[in-house]
Amino acid sequence: MRILLAVDGSPFSEAAVDEVSSRPWPVGSEVKIVSAFQVPLSATPEVWALPNQYFETLERLARERAQTVVDAALTKVRSELVSSLKVTGEVLAGIPREAILDEANRWNADLIVLGSHGYGAWQRFLLGSVSQAVVSHATCSVEVVHIRPDAKVKAA
């Protein structure tokens, strides 16, 4: 079984890491941990007004943060799963929902596991929902891990 675990460093993705780490997966299973980053748009419409390294610095910082998140999840999953399972990690550049779906297809995942931020309708409208997009468009099974409302307060 090939499990793609998408993480973003939030308490919600930590719950997904915990869920994957606590299961007895079939022998020969593989877990691939991914974190996607997207460089934000320009802070000003006059792109020429920005320093030359502005976007390079933003991309480097976003990539480093995503790598830190993947490394932390790798450490946790490797320490709790049996050593016979293959566990790898990768940082993906791009819009998170698209990057996760593309990687799941490319890697031929059997299951995608990710956390849900639990947005209401208004927040989903403004921010979008990665988990909702993945559930709607994935070609494999998807598990969305939720946190109880009272646990969100403790985690934050």
Query: Which residues span the domain enclosing 124?
Result: 2-155
Counting the structural domains of the chain, the total is 1
pTM recorded for the entire structure: 0.85
Strand order of the β-sheet with 86-93 is: 86-93, 30-37, 2-6, 111-115, 141-145
- The CATH number linked to 123 is 3.40.50.620
Q: CA-CA distance, 14 to 19, in Å (whole number)?
A: 9
Over the chain (156 residues), the average pLDDT of each successive run of 10 is 95 93 91 91 63 83 95 94 87 94 98 79 53 91 85 51
